[in-house]
């Protein structure tokens, strides 16, 4: 009886705890352009955002809100044509020297050669968890959606709703997991021709500048962080926050496997040369 009572109290508590804010709307409301001296622009009454890069500078933006867990989506259309040397980023990050970070980075290429989609997860300032992919479409021809799901059990990276990477919470075997530092969304377009394209062999062709990437449909289903408190601990409505316990069903797992088999070009978890003392513990479980 006592334990039945305890578990129903716990359940009620969790139901309260996991309420979240959902927000989709105007980019003026959600985003601040933070650098680039006019090279970043919000257009069409807040429905479109563009970042540009020329020889003098790139540009970038960040979310106004901070989040502690969330499902964040945005549609991106990457720099077309010869984008070699350019990098477009879309990521979440907390401040400080022991930060957490969840990254999408798009490494440009010569016309007709494939972009690389680079992903990484940092916890307390430590990354070294890179996975890289080619995409199954031309990411410069149209907008495609890129999503980060971050909940207490897992991080899932998705492209057009197809999961490409899952990083599970494996604190039980000693792998750190981001769970206490609120993060903002950041994005930038910058020059990285010392490493981005074929490892730095192909340089940016500045005669093609300015380079422009476009963004739209920012959507944050998230627990907002405000004055040291999470919006997810102060309401009784949990029906709108299924993402907080979302996991991959068998169909999604099959699609993840398909992407990893056909499109993954680098996985730190199989890089034995890099980890001569043995692969990181999270690599041994999957
Ligand atoms: C660019 O194209 C080359 C040749 O197809 C390929 O090896 C490379 O992975 C591509 N992407 C980047 C970012 O270098
Ligand atoms: C909870 O939120 C959902 C979605 O926002 C809404 O449709 C529903 O009416 C809310 N329920 C309560 C009890 O407030």
pLDDT at position 58 over 50: yes
The stretch 126-142 carries a mean pLDDT of 97
**For residue 23, what pLDDT is reported?**
56
Measured in whole angstroms, the distance separating CA 190 from the mean position of its chain's CA atoms is 17
Q: What percent of the chain has pLDDT over 70?
A: 88
CATH number of the domain enclosing 35: 2.60.120.200
Dump pLDDT digits (tens) for 65-80. 999 999 999 999 999 9
Cα–Cα dist 268/278, whole Å? 12
**For residue 232, what pLDDT is reported?**
85
Dump pLDDT digits (tens) for 77-95. 999 999 999 999 999 999 9
Cα–Cα dist 250/254, whole Å? 6
Out of 101, 130, 166, 247, which one is annotated catalytic? 101
CA of 15 from ligand 2 middle (Å) equals 13
Q: Please, is 3 exposed, middle or buried when counting C-beta atoms within 10 Å of its C-beta (0-12, 13-18, 19+)?
A: exposed
The stretch 26-47 carries a mean pLDDT of 97
The stretch 135-148 carries a mean pLDDT of 98
Where in the sequence is the domain holding 76, given as residue range(s)? 2-284
How many domains does the chain contain in total?
Answer: 1
Cα–Cα dist 207/213, whole Å? 17
Q: What is the position in ligand 1's atom list of the atom closest to the CA of 197?
A: 14
Between 260 and 237, the more confident residue is 260
pLDDT at position 15 over 50: no
CA of 170 from ligand 1 middle (Å) equals 33
Out of 105, 130, 246, 282, which one is annotated catalytic? 105
Give yes or no: 247 in active site: no
Give yes or no: 130 in active site: no
The protein residue whose alpha carbon is closest to atom 12 in ligand 2 is 237
CB 146 within 8 A of CB 158: yes
């Amino acid at each position: 009886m006592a334990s039945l009572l305890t578990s129903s109290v716990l359940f009620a508590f969790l139901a309260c705890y996991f309420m979240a804010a959902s927000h989709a709307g105007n980019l003026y409301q959600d985003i601040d352009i933070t650098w680039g001296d006019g090279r970043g622009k919000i257009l069409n009454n807040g429905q479109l955002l563009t970042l540009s890069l020329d020889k003098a500078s790139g540009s970038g933006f960040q979310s106004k809100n901070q989040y502690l867990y969330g499902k964040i989506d945005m549609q991106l259309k990457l720099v077309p044509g010869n984008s070699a040397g350019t990098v477009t980023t879309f990521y979440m990050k907390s401040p400080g020297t022991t930060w957490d970070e969840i990254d999408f980075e798009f490494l440009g290429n010569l016309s007709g050669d494939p972009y690389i989609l680079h992903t990484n997860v940092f916890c307390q300032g430590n990354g070294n968890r890179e996975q890289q992919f080619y995409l199954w479409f031309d990411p410069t021809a149209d907008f495609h959606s890129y999503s980060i799901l971050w909940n207490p059990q897992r991080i899932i990276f998705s492209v057009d709703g197809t999961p490409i990477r899952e990083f599970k919470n494996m604190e039980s075997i000693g792998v750190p997991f981001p769970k206490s530092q609120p993060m903002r969304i950041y994005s930038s377009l910058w020059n990285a021709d010392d490493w981005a394209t074929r490892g730095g062999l192909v340089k940016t062709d500045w005669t093609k500048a300015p380079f422009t990437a476009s963004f739209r449909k920012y959507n944050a289903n998230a627990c907002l962080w405000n004055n040291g408190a999470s919006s997810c601990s102060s309401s009784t409505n949990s029906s709108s926050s299924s993402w907080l316990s979302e996991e991959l069903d068998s169909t999604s797992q099959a699609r993840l496997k398909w992407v990893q088999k056909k499109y993954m070009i680098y996985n730190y978890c199989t890089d034995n040369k890099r980890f001569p003392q043995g692969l990181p513990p999270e690599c041994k479980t999957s």
